[in-house]
Amino acid sequence: MTRATETVHVAYGVSRADAIRDALRMEGCTERVVALPATLSHGPIDPLDPDARQAWVRTVLRCAPDDDWREPEEPWAEATTADVYPVYWVCLTDAGEHAWFLEFASRMAVRPFDIVDATGLDFVTRDGVRSPWSLGLVRAEDIVSSGLRERRRPSSEAEAHAASATWAQLRAENAPLRIVRDGRLVSAPLTHFDAVLVAQGRPEWEIVAGLIGRALHHLSFEVDPPGQGVGDVVLFGRVLALGAEGAFDVRGAGPGMRDYEVRLPAIRPHPDRIPG
């Protein structure tokens, strides 16, 4: 099979795509970079319907009514149309990146594409050698100095089939969350991060955003494996749910995480009653 005339680089998320684009430009490469939107590490994925996923986010995670989390189809068309040859950039220890890679490989079916896989790599940075768990933590200059672009390689047929099979299984399970465990993306219950949130709670009132920030830092840098790619939207929804269950005291008119305050209750539930 001959390659299409235009090479297009593809990554999950705008910030990652921006860093890759800047790195390519620093190396004199003007090839296009496409950012795939939103995240598939939470919410229903069978069917992969934007309206159903938006309804789930609003009702289960309780985001603001005017927030639109629907994933547009246009970036997919840019990344997978027949007249481009995609180069997919990914770090598989990030659940969000991992999920989008599986969906991308499934959409490509038997078509060839290349991969730039940053999983487990050491990056030479101005702060020393780092091993980031997500491309979202990598700067453009780090991509260049570490020669990440040179790791580009063709995907194998076996690799693509395995990715498609894994994604088909995850879609059949259709769990509320997906996390990385032992290098694989697996289904997880909605309560998976509840124990972390409660452990990061404080007895004095604070803005919910402060609690979520500590939980994200803990999950990103203080646990092994780090990351999981969970975002503040998921954790915010769980704080409100834990408030309704009595694991937190929550007050405020909403709708955003800066419009609520949270604290640990004076009498805490028994740990066995806290999900997760």
**What are the boundaries of each domain within the chain?**
6-173, 189-273
- The most distant pair of C-alpha atoms in the chain lies apart, rounded to whole Å, by 67
pTM of the model: 0.89
Structurally, what CATH architecture does the domain formed by 189-273 represent? Orthogonal Bundle (1.10)
57 pLDDT band, cuts 50/70/90, is confident
pLDDT digits (tens, 9 = 90+) for 27-41: 999 999 999 987 899
pLDDT at 245: 96
Return d(Cα 10, Cα 120) in angstroms, integer: 20
Return d(Cα 55, Cα 73) in angstroms, integer: 18
Amino acid at 130: R
- The DSSP secondary-structure symbol of 60 reads I
Over residues 153-164, the mean pLDDT reads 95
Count the Cβ atoms, other than its own, within 10 Å of residue 117.
17
CATH class, range 6-173: alpha beta
pLDDT digits (tens, 9 = 90+) for 197-254: 999 999 999 999 999 999 999 998 888 777 666 889 899 999 999 999 999 999 999 8
5 contacts: CB under 8 Å, gap ≥ 6: 83
Return d(Cα 143, Cα 22) in angstroms, integer: 9
Return d(Cα 130, Cα 87) in angstroms, integer: 24
pLDDT at 271: 56
Separation of CA 28 from chain center: 29
pLDDT digits (tens, 9 = 90+) for 76-110: 999 999 999 999 999 999 999 999 999 999 999 88
Return d(Cα 78, Cα 188) in angstroms, integer: 31
Q: What is the mean pLDDT of the chain?
A: 90
Q: Residue 189: which of 62, 276, 60 has the closest Cα?
A: 276
Are both 6-173 and 189-273 of the same fold?
A: no
